[in-house]
Amino acid sequence: MTQKRISKELQECLTTPPAGIKVNLVDEGNIHNWNIVMDGPADSPYVGGKFQLLLVLPTEYPFKPPKINFKTRIYHPNVTFDEHGSMCIGILKSDSWKPSSRIPNVLTAIQQLLLEPVPDDAVEQGAAQKFKEDRKAFDKEARDMTKKYAK
């Protein structure tokens, strides 16, 4: 069942992906690892950047949430600014994950997170601090980092 559902969702994402998102498989033989390229949303400091994400679907999917990491570095309160790019987003926490959630929903939720960071639930404290205290400086920093890493 897992395989069937994943391949169905993959088909959906390949044919009609959410706006600004491209999906392909890391390795053609393995439908559990997805490579995602997300354009920085238009009204955010990340505009113009292309962010690579790695989506790993566990064997228990859809009963366990998928794991998503930013492969491209991103300056964001809810994403660690390192090579792991771990992120903190409500929909993917295992105590709030619902088997009825689908990958396109998750991806649009991440786009939403880029538009509206949640500094109270931050994993990158410096960025969160800046976001709360000096929004302009934060935006500039984020733009610079986007230019530097996400081109």
Q: What is the CA angle 71-37-121, rounded to 5?
A: 55
Q: Among this protein's residues, is 13 annotated catalytic?
A: no
**The binder of other proteins chosen from 24, 33, 96, 105 (CB under 8 A):** 96
CA–CA dist 106, 90 (Å, integer): 10
Of the candidate spans 3-11, 20-28, 29-37, 140-148, the one that interacts with other proteins by CB under 8 A turns out to be 3-11
Alpha helices in the chain (DSSP H): 2-15, 103-115, 125-133, 135-149
Binder of other proteins out of 30, 43, 56, 60 (CB under 8 A) = 60
- Least distance to other proteins, CB of residue 81, Å: 32
10 Å CB burial of residue 93 (0-12, 13-18, 19+) is exposed
In the chain the first and final C-alpha atoms are separated, in Å, by 39
Asked if 46 contacts 150 with a C-beta cutoff of 8 angstroms, the reply is yes
Instruction: Single out the catalytic residue among 88, 91, 92, 109.
Output: 88
For the chain, what is the total number of helices (H) and then of strands (E)? 4, 4
Among 62, 66, 77, 117, binds other proteins (CB under 8 A): 62
* Of positions 64, 135, 140, 147, contacts other proteins by CB under 8 A: 64
4 is a site residue for other proteins (CB under 8 A): yes
Of 5-44, binders to other proteins (CB under 8 A) are 5, 8-9
Per CB under 8 A, does 1 bind other proteins? yes
Should residue 90 be labelled a site residue for other proteins when binding is judged by CB under 8 A? no
- Residues near other proteins (CB under 8 A) are 1, 4-5, 8-9, 60, 62-64, 96, 98-100, 102
